[in-house]
Structure 1
Amino acid sequence: MLENIKAVIFDLDGTLVDSMWMWKSIDMEYLAAKKVSIPEDLEAFQDELEGMGFTETAKFFKERFQIEDSLEEIKETWLLMSREKYCHEVPLKPGALEFLKELKKRKISVGISSSNSRELIAEVLKAHNIEAYFDCITTCCEVPKSKPAPDVYLKTAQGLGAAPEDCLVFEDVPMGILAGKRAGMKVCAIEDAYSKKQERQKRELADWYVQDYLEVLENEAQKGACV
């Protein structure tokens, strides 16, 4: 998988950290606090949000639920609601730290392309003491179009100084996988409970599908042993 790869780019939520459950909880708490009826089919509602950037999601909420707060106020509320959970309740995906160490050992550049806010990304990396492993971070708020458009991945690759064809993307949802593929990159889909119902689609879209990063490391170790 890592053969001829010069840069690895991660999505954040559901890919690098196990956090998708948290956002579903925050959506429910936020709407309840605003005395807004929670969508009957919450799963379908969450699917609508897939791939949207942080500001784009705030705009969607404001228009869909006629929320009086400004976009900045909505985002600030979400930041406050999520900060504690991110720092104390959201773990790294199994094997993520070990995989980051392996990439550093191989001198492979590492980036993040996320729909989340830059502030929260920074806090997550700091909470897990992994800031030093990342050479470039890009959010969907910083590019013209969010996922499944390739913009955020292309911008990160540019920041890493790598050609798209030399990049490997790790993603957990179809919209993100599509973004990576449309950028001309190889994509590995990672297992996540939140997107379990989309497993078949993820397998069809991605070049590889893994349970976690321990599986990636094991496969790479086996390849090395066979050389």
Structure 2
Amino acid sequence: MKNKMTLKREIFQGIEAVLFDLDGTLVDSMWMWENIDREYLRHFGIELPEDLQVLVQGMSFSETAVYFKERFLIPDSVEDIKAEWNRMAWDKYSNEVPLKEGVLTFLENLKNEGILMGIATSNSKELVELVIAKLGVLEYFGSIRTSCEVAKGKPSPDIYLLVAEDLKAKAANCLVFEDIIQGIQAGKSAGMKVCGVYDKYSEGDTDKKKELSDYYIHSYLELIG
């Protein structure tokens, strides 16, 4: 017998596509990026600024590389910066990054209900494809896009509108899952419903995330009957 999805507060009524951010939303990975940024800047004798993580949230992988190059006067090209970040993160995404609680069961329930799924991430194409294949969830997604493929990263709505277009779903019939304020703003700006997702990394923003979102969960298990 197939598991039946609990339509918590009827949030899936009229929904034809569910769109996910990746880091902090589908996978537990936000913890590693501050360490990577610290190690990367140390190569150039630069201490990690306290405001850096907040300022780059929502930026695409390419936008972040441009920001690093301009702010810290990094001599390497933007492409070389991105390649180095991919190299530094590769082993962690291969071996240390898990799915968040309840994700696999939730994806299976969405599939059983005939709801389309897509990923809209600020991460690099290489890393998103690596981790979702490694974790065995690649088959669930009809569209996987990165913010490098659109004009602007989050909080602009571009990436979510692109994934919805790929899935041939109307924005009003899409539900976005996001863990950061900029991502929630992107989903809302796209005219979509948004469910905020708890993540330890952004725990300090919980009240603001709840305020901006239509719904909020600590775990995907809350959505499964």
TM-score, normalised relative to structure 2? 0.94
| SS of equivalent residue, structure 2 residue 18 | strand
Letter in 2 for 1:15: T
Q: Which residue of 1 aligns with 2:85?
A: 78
Provide the secondary structure at the position in 1 that maps to 2:87. Answer: helix
The alignment status of 1:93 with 2:100, answered yes or no, reads yes
How far did residue 34 of structure 1 move?
A: 2.1
Provide, for residues 53-82 of structure 1, a one-character-per-residue CA deviation record: whole Å limited to 9, x for no partner. Answer: 000000000111111011111001000000
Q: Of 121, 127, 135, which residue of structure 2 is paired with 1:120?
A: 127
Moved segments of 4+, more than 2 Å: none
Shift of the alpha carbon at 1:153?
0.3
Correspondence for 1:13: 23
> What secondary structure is seen at the aligned counterpart in 1 of 2:118?
strand
1:45 deviates by 1.6
The match for 2:211 is: 204
In structure 2, how many angstroms separate the alpha carbons of the residues matched to 1:110 and 1:38? 36
1:185 corresponds in structure 2 to 192
1:1-227 equivalent positions in 2, closer than 5 A: 1-39=11-49, 41=50, 44-217=51-224, 221=225
* Unaligned stretches of 5+ residues in structure 1: 222-227
Distance in 1 separating the partners of 2:214 and 2:48: 36
TM-score of the superposition, structure 1-length normalised?
Answer: 0.93
CA distance in 2, matches of 1:79, 1:129: 20
CA deviations over 1:111-147 (Å, ceiling 9, x no partner): 0001011111100111101110000011111111111
- 1:110 is paired with a residue whose SS is strand
How far does the alpha carbon of each residue in 1:100-121 deviate from its partner, in whole angstroms, 9 at most, with x for none? Answer: 1001111110000010111111
Percent of aligned positions that are identical: 51
SS at 1:87's partner residue? Answer: helix
C-alpha distance in structure 1 between counterparts of 2:190 and 2:48, whole Å:
35
Q: Which amino acid aligns with 1:7?
A: A
Residues 38 and 47 in structure 2, CA contact (< 8 A), matched pair in contact too: no
CA distance in 2, matches of 1:143, 1:76: 20
Q: Could you report, residue by residue, the CA deviation over 1:162-201 in whole angstroms, capped at 9, with x for unpaired residues?
A: 0001000000001000000010000000000010000010
Between the two proteins, the alignment pairs up a number of residues equal to 215
What RMSD over aligned residues (CA atoms) do the two structures have, in Å?
Answer: 0.7
1:121 counterpart letter in structure 2: V
